[in-house]
Structure 1
Amino acid sequence: MQQPSLKALTAIVDEIARSGNPEAMMSRIVQQLRALLSVDVCSLYLCTPDQQHLILAATEGLASEAVGHARLQLDEGLVGHIASSLSTLNLGDAPTDDRFVFIPETHEMPYHRFLGVPLLHLRKLVGVLVIQGRERVPFSQETEAFMITVASQLAGTLSSLQSRGDWYERKHASTGYRRLKGQKGAPGIGMGTLWPVRPHVSLDQIVEGTCSDPASESQALEDAIQAVADDLESSSSHLDQHLPADVHALFNVYQMMLHSPELHTECCEHINRGDSAAWSLRQTVDRMAEQFQSSEDPYLKARGEDIRNIGQRILNQLLSRDSISRTPPDTDLILAGELISIADLAEFPLQNIHGIVCTRGSTLSHTAIVANALGVPAVMGLENFEPEQHTHAQMIVDGHRGECVLNPPAPLLHEYRRMINEEQRFMQDLERLRDEPAVSRDGFRVCLLTNTGLLADATPGLQRGAEGVGLYRSEIPFMIHDGFPTEQEQYSLYAKVLQAYAPHPVSMRTLDIGGDKQLPYFDISETNPYLGWRGIRFSLDNAQLLITQIRAMLRANAEYGNLKLLVPMVSRIDEIQGFRRHVEKALSTLEREGVRVGMPPIGMMIEVPSAMLLLPRLAPYIDFVSIGSNDLTQYLLAVDRNNPRVASLFDHLHPAVLVALEQIHDQCEALGLPASLCGEMASDPAAVLLLLAMGYDCLSLSAYNIPRIKHLIRSVNRSELKPLLESTRLCQSETDVRALVQPLLEAAARRQAT
């Protein structure tokens, strides 16, 4: 047998990856491999979503009627042996093997030689790939090596299909019941009729076009932009009674993007070169959005979605098509689309919106922020789902799990209704805790702060009882300009944030830009951005930017007095020394200008392990510490949590992370440094119990989670948690830690219920 080339393998994988139909994808795999290897049979077995059985998903050579029906347990037959042992099996006469199991509907008795390889993705069994032939000799070592290579290439492509269960449910469920996994956008559970919010023509569908009258084309574009501006103004008024004032500021952000000189100028340049208005718009929006979306930071990446939302609305006007052209039913609605903007929501009665689903986007998109403010459950980034194919279908949106259920069966609907009623009662009970302190049953007081990045985030935190801001991200003004924002522009924004929370403290992180966080007007290209020119390194190397930002923050603080300066990504002593000198110089300069300012508290983020180890030598230069649990976990474990291949290894309850956090707390206590912790860890109930046991008395978390975490803290005795922490020191993995904490969480839940 002539061995296929790697080039042939690459061609197969690329073709299969482009296929959007599960059945076509699996059929193509077995067809291509059977022809490429010149074998009698090629078959693909996939695990059922519950990982209990292997189902014949596609075959070339066995009976086609067996597809979807031939079933094996994970340790049954030769295929089951491969699945259970996770090893390759190459036999010359399979039917004589003791492990062989005959499945009548497959008609496989004439085949003797057998080669099967497991499909593994991220340590999980996806299925088994098999080839068979009539000869009574094993397949060659070269063929075996090629099959192993094929399996390694195809496992990732097939994994999402296998885990979703599309291939199985289509054959065994006439109801169309499906579970769809996405990202948590806004917590809560909602159910209703699915209503697609999708433009007739998307910006991505616009192809290259020319114009013969640039003046007319430019005017058409300007008219479209003005129409969108008017529409946004109208939508803003419509939502005025329902959205908090600061969340309302999102409309101002949209208007600012809409009237960006960069957008107008670049579009007109394209039109003057002969491009059509629509094609000019797409090119300009693609380039502007790419500046954000090339960032590895999910918060900054989300800003690219807003640019594309604005571009889509301009296109809708340009083509005289409204993104919502049909009248929705007057019932409970689940709005679904590729990206749903704030203005889209204004087209519907708010009392009818019970859930939001976006096939793109992230937890940090504007849609998610507004959904949180409105209390509407949302799931973002729902891949491989076309809403327009399921108009009027019933859907459940589970924002707690980042999951949607399409056409749920009656028992599941009943259970979710019960959960919704229970959650409504629970949240109403939590309202009474808004102004109550987060104090354990035995008197341990915890300060709960919120994380924010836009002025629009301010109100949710205040409404849910935040005692200040533990982390204010200052990057956004730099990202939405076509040049570095002026001191006055920064001052205006910082003053509004400080005013919103005064007299509560606001920890403003200085510019965390560089490396993986690109500015549209300051390109940085690096091989390894996580270890590159970012955070305080970038700021110190661009001192004029740092000084401008410090001056703007200090000026804002002169009025309200609640500023705390926070320095990101500190890894060296001279970095914090240099930062402090810049603050002292800015204070002196402002005093000479007649601005009466004082030295605010200066803190540093512990995100890099070296900062933790140097803490005693850094202490003389700082007043407080904020632990960035996401980055610290990432650097300690050498795991990029945005990389799907290793994201499952990212867990802030890893024993090494817990050891580090204990050391940091004990050092801070000995040095007299107040320490807070921010990041996902502060919203994880299991982690919060351990942080209480360690002695952490200040946490910064998302606004929505504040009442729940406050309730948890008020339902436990810290004295009972200390023995738990001692026990975790013997744990070998995060799984062991969670198993240890679970009984205490259940006990706390019982106390909360009573």
Structure 2
Amino acid sequence: MHQSPLNALTSIVEQIARTGDPKAVMSNIVQSLRELMQVDVCSLYLCTPDFKHLILAATEGLSPRAVGKAKLKLDEGLVGHIASSLSTLNLGNAPADDRFVFIPETHEMPYYRFLGVPLLHLRKLIGVLVIQGKERQPFPQEAEAFLITVASQLAGTLAQLQSKGEWYKKRNPRQGYRRFPGLKGAPGLGMGKLRLVRPHLSLDQVKAACTSEAEAEKNAISEALAAVSEELESGSGHLGQHLPSDLNALFNVYQMMLQSPELSQQILARIDAGDNAPWALKQTIDAMAEQFLQADDPYLKARAEDICNIGQRILNQLLSRERPSTEAPDEALILTGELISIADLAEFPLHQIHGIICTQGSTLSHTAILANALGIPAVMGVEQFEPEQHKGATLIADGHRAECVLNPPAALLAEYQRMIDDEQRFMQGLERLRNQPAITRDGFTVSLLTNTGLLADATPGLLRGAEGVGLYRSEIPFMIHENFPTEQEQYTLYRKVLQAYAPRPVNMRTLDIGGDKQLPYFDISETNPYLGWRGIRFSLDNAQLLISQVRAMLRADIEHGNLRLLVPMISRIDEIQSFRRYVEKAVDALNREGHEVRMPAIGMMIEVPSAMLLLPRLTPYIDFVSIGSNDLTQYLLAVDRNNPRVSGLFDHLHPAVLVALEQIHRQCEALGLPVSLCGEMASDPAAVLLLVAMGYRCLSLSAYNIPRIKLLIRSINRETLLSLLEQTRQCNSETEVRALLAPVLAEAGWGRDSRPSLPGDTASGATH
């Protein structure tokens, strides 16, 4: 090899980045490797989408006619042996090996030396990479080490190609039923017509083009700018009271950018120079975005995405000026795109949005959070789906199973419609439980509170029977402002929430930023943000912000007296001591100023394991405890649930998490501390069974899930769950725990989150 391994790998990766066609990608890989390693043959075998066979997907050296035809079982031949054993194979006389299988169409008889390595991505076999030569001796160790390194680097890219199956068999994208897996965004089932939110060319797809009619092009741009301005002016009206004023500020930012003289002048100047309108637009937007990206100010950097969004909207208007609307006013739509913004949602009446499918994003994306709050089924990160190929198709957003279903056959469509109708009737039927307690058949009562903070309208929790707010996320106003909100701005917002729920308790969590929650105007750049400057650490280091927030909360509480303060990310005793002193000082100061405020109950989140271990010594400074199951699970298991490489290991029913929860409950009981649990765990029916068995009497969850969990609790006997809890203590994995709980859930009638049985699907109905 003339290049160093690092440079060689970099060269291959750069070539792949410049290639869009799957066949070209694979051809580049084998061609580059053959040249770099100076071998006679380099071949790539990929697993078929059903993982039953290996197909020769690309080769340099073997007969090109064998590509797509040479086929081996996963345990057949030398390549099959590598696939089944997941191990490297390096031979000096391959044809003499008992495992060798001759495939005539490959014309590989002259080749003796053979080196093959498996391609693995996220513990799954993707294929096998092979090099061959005419010498009768194994490849040197250097070549073997390099090929293993190459395979590890390319496996992720090849996994995307392999899963789509386009390299294997051409299909008409507009025909045939298919399912595409994704990530859970928001629960529920939605069915409707696929509506591509950005149905035209993206800006980066616009090609250079000239015009001989400059005036017509300039008129087109002017009309497009005016149309986008009008669109932004009226767009937020569709969401109406569902959005807080802070979110409406996003529309104002867009308007300011749109009306910038620099934007229109640069576009018009390029048209005068001979460019057509789309190409002039693209160049202008690219230049302005680059200016934002080069800025040191993190707020200005964040505006690069906004100017690109504006450019895309202008381009859409340019290309759709004469395009009539294709939807009926009441037609059910599944909005689909890369990442759908609040502004995108505002373009449609809420009653028409039956689901959201995003090809990017995660369970914690703002789109997912908003969909949860609005009760719209959403699936995120559906990477294999290419919606532009299926415009107008029938689509199902299955938020329970985190997948979208394309062009379902009539029988399946009818079954999903039945499930949607059943779910609607079921939810309507649960309205009778709104004012009923969540009490087991043998008399164990659980308080169900709601998590809120995103929407100005705090009533969804009340409408679904919430007994208070278990977690109010106060950081949302901070995240969507252009600067830190004032004490008065916070007071106005907090007062509305406390008033809406009075006399029910409202647990307001103080500012919790850091980790995956960043402020656009306050950059926190860290190597490991989850172990860094977040939660109470940030607040104590920025005491003026903490004091301002606490004062706003105390003032908002004067009229109704239902505020409880909740402190995130406590890991040390001095943190809660300092926080309590700040609250006491704020109470004294406000009373001296003439505000008759009271000292509220102070609670802490148990998210960091050290807080659990120090609980007896923390008790003198707190009045209650709330367990943040999401972060506690993340820190106990050392798993970043937003990292696709390890997110599959994140499960709050891991035996270690269950041990921790039992320990926390026993300690709180002994110390006389009220304890609640919030997070995704409180919406998981399997987890709720164990939490009730452990003795947890207060859960906080999304408003959407309250009626379902209430029904579950009212259908079980806690006494019968105690033996089940004892059995889970012997389980070695979350899989065993769920298997143990499945029959109990089935007996309780918990099958409403299951989907109909689909062809080739052997998975059980309820998943986590």
1:545 and 1:248 map into 2 onto residues whose CA distance is 25
Q: Find the residue that maps to 1:152 and give its secondary structure.
A: helix
- Secondary structure at the counterpart of residue 456 of structure 1: coil
- In structure 2, the residue corresponding to 1:101 is in which secondary structure? coil
Structure 2 vs 1, CA of residues 288 and 232 (structure 1 numbering), >3 Å: closer, same or farther? farther
SS of the equivalent of 2:9 reads helix
Q: Secondary structure at the match of 1:559?
A: coil
SS at match of 1:355: strand
Task: Within 5 Å, give how 1:449-488 maps onto structure 2.
Answer: 449-456=449-456, 458-488=458-488
Q: Hey, what's the Cα distance between the residues in 1 that align with 2:621 and 2:748? A: 40
- The residue aligned with 1:316 is 313
Q: Note if 1:195 corresponds to 2:195.
A: yes
Amino acid at match of 2:689: L
Partner residue of 1:142? 142
Following superposition, the deviation at residue 423 of structure 1 comes to: 3.0
Q: Provide the residue aligned with 1:35 in structure 2.
A: 35
Instruction: Please tell me whether the aligned partners of residues 202 and 312 of structure 1 are also in contact (alpha carbons under 8 angstroms).
Output: no
Matches within 5 A, 1:197-276: 197-198=197-198, 200=200, 231-232=231-232, 234-238=234-238, 245=241, 247-249=242-244, 252-259=245-252
1:327 to 325, 328, 348: 325
- Paired letter, 1:255: N
Matched with 1:722 is 722
Counterpart of 2:700?
700
Query: Distance between the aligned counterparts of 2:355 and 2:189, measured in 1?
Result: 8
Percent of pairs with identical residues: 70
Superposed displacement of residue 366, structure 1: 5.5
Aligned-partner residue type, residue 32 of structure 1: S
CA deviations 1:517-539 (Å, max 9, x no partner) are 54344333333322222211221
Shift of 1:364: 4.9
SS of residue matched to 2:651 = coil
Cα distance in 2, alignment partners of residues 139 and 317 from structure 1? 57
Give yes or no for contact 1:46–1:126 (8 Å, CA) kept in 2.
yes
Distance 1:694 1:73 in 2: 49
Q: Distance in 1 between matches of 2:196 and 2:751?
A: 42
Is 1:45 the counterpart of 2:45 in the alignment?
Answer: yes
1:697 and 1:232, CA in 2 relative to 1: closer, same or farther beyond 3 A? farther
> Can you list the C-alpha shifts for 1:225-253, whole angstroms capped at 9, x where unaligned?
9976754553444555xxxx4x243xx33
What CA distance in whole angstroms lies between the structure 1 residues aligned with 2:296 and 2:185?
Answer: 21
Give CA deviations for 1:191-217 in whole Å, capped at 9, x if unaligned. Answer: 333232216565777999xxxxxxxxx
Q: What SS does the aligned partner of 1:168 have?
A: coil
CA gap 1:712/1:24 in 2 versus in 1, 3 angstroms: farther
Does structure 2 retain, via aligned residues, the 8 Å contact 1:266–1:284?
Answer: no
- SS for the counterpart of 1:651 is coil
Moved more, 553-562 or 14-23: 14-23
Which segment drifts farther, 196-205 or 488-497?
Answer: 196-205
Other-structure match for 1:338:
338
Residue equivalent to 1:588: 588
Q: Please state whether the residue corresponding to 1:455 is helix, strand or coil.
A: coil
Change (3 A) 1:717 1:144: same
Partner of 1:122: 122
445-454 vs 51-60, which deviates more? Answer: 51-60
- CA separation of 1:352/1:512 partners in 2, compared to 1, >3 Å: closer, same or farther? closer
Deviates more, 1:459-468 or 1:650-659: 459-468
Counterpart mapping for 1:147-186 below 5 A? 147-170=147-170, 175=175, 177-186=177-186
Partner of 2:91: 91
Q: Shift in Å at residue 38 of structure 1?
A: 2.6
Task: Give the aligned partner of residue 301 of structure 1.
Answer: none
State how far apart, in whole Å, the 1-side matches of 2:300 and 2:647 are: 20
Q: CA offsets per residue over residues 1-49 of structure 1, 9 Å max, x none?
A: 7686321122102322453332222222122212222323222222233
Residue 142 of structure 1 and its aligned partner are, at CA, apart by 1.5
The answer on whether the counterparts of 1:715 and 1:752 sit within 8 Å (CA) in structure 2 is: no
Deviation at 1:548, TM superposition (A): 0.8
Cα distance in 2, alignment partners of residues 738 and 695 from structure 1: 19
Three-state SS of the structure 1 residue aligned to 2:139 is: coil
Deviation at residue 581 of structure 1 after TM alignment: 0.9
Q: Secondary structure at the match of 2:700?
A: strand
Tell me the distance in 2 between the aligned counterparts of 1:695 and 1:222.
65
Q: Which whole-Å CA distance do the structure 2 matches of 1:428 and 1:262 have between them?
A: 41
- Offset at residue 134 of structure 1 (A): 2.8
Change (3 A) 1:663 1:626: same
Paired residue type of 1:546: L
How many angstroms apart in 2 are the aligned matches of 1:699 and 1:435?
Answer: 17
Post-superposition CA distance 1:374-396 (Å, at most 9, x none): 54432233335443332123322
* Cα 1:713/1:515, change in 2 over 3 Å: closer
Amino acid in the other structure paired with 2:541 = D
**Offset of 1:622 from its aligned partner?**
0.5
Secondary structure (helix, strand or coil) at the match of 2:95 reads helix
Q: Which amino acid aligns with 1:430?
A: L
Q: Is the CA contact (8 Å cut-off) linking 1:262 and 1:482 kept in structure 2? A: no
Mapped to 1, the partners of 2:291 and 2:444 lie a distance apart of: 55
Tell me how far apart the structure 1 counterparts of residues 92 and 172 of structure 2 sit (CA, whole Å): 35
3-state secondary structure, aligned to 1:259: helix
Once the two structures are superposed, residues 54-107 of structure 1 have per-residue CA deviations (whole angstroms, 9 ceiling, x without a partner) of: 232222233334333433222222112111111111112222211122334433
When structure 1 is superposed on structure 2, of 723-732 and 607-616 the one drifting more is: 723-732
Partner of 2:512: 512
Q: Deviations over 1:338-395 (max 9, x none)?
A: 3434554455565554332233444455544554465443223333544333212332
**Match for 2:558: what amino acid?**
A
CA separation of 1:368/1:534 partners in 2, compared to 1, >3 Å: closer, same or farther? closer
Query: CA separation of 1:262/1:312 partners in 2, compared to 1, >3 Å: closer, same or farther?
Result: closer
Q: Summarize the Cα distance change of 1:14–1:440 in structure 2 as closer, same or farther, 3 Å threshold.
A: farther
The within-5 A match list for 1:446-595 is 446-456=446-456, 458-514=458-514, 517-595=517-595
The alpha-carbon deviation at position 271 of structure 1 amounts to 9.8
How far apart, CA to CA, are the structure 2 residues paired with 1:653 and 1:293? 42
Taking the aligned partners of 1:413 and 1:254, their CA distance within structure 2 comes to 36
**Structure 1, 13-22 or 683-692: larger mean CA deviation:** 13-22
SS at match of 1:357: strand
Unaligned runs of 5+ in 2: 209-219, 271-283, 754-768
Tell me the secondary structure at the aligned position of residue 513 of structure 1.
coil
After TM superposition, give the deviation of residue 164 of structure 1 in Å.
Answer: 4.1
Please give the secondary structure, in 2, of the residue aligned with 1:170: coil
Identify if the C-alpha distance between structure 1 residues 321 and 659 changes in structure 2 by more than 3 Å, giving closer, same or farther. same
Tell me whether 572-581 or 451-460 shows the greater mean CA deviation.
451-460
Query: How far apart are the structure 1 equivalents of 2:260 and 2:615?
Result: 51
Moved more, 587-596 or 518-527: 518-527
Q: Which residue number corresponds to residue 686 of structure 1?
A: 686
Mapped contact 1:356–1:378 kept (Cα < 8 A): yes
Q: 1:575 to 1:459 in 2, by over 3 A?
A: same
SS in 1 for 2:126: strand
Residues 752 and 417 (structure 1), Cα distance of their counterparts in 2 relative to 1, 3 Å cut: closer
Distance 2:201 2:3 in 1: 46
Aligned-partner residue type, residue 309 of structure 2: Q
The amino acid of 2:704's aligned partner reads Y
Counterpart-to-counterpart distance in 2, 1:387 and 1:188: 21
Q: Give the Cα–Cα distance (whole angstroms) in 2 for the partners of residues 82 and 293 of structure 1.
A: 51
TM-score (norm 1): 0.86
Query: What is the rounded CA distance, in whole Å, between the counterparts of 1:341 and 1:9 in structure 2?
Result: 37
| Aligned residues of 1:177 and 1:408 also touching (Cα < 8 A) | yes
**1:573–1:179 CA distance, 2 compared to 1 (3 A):** same
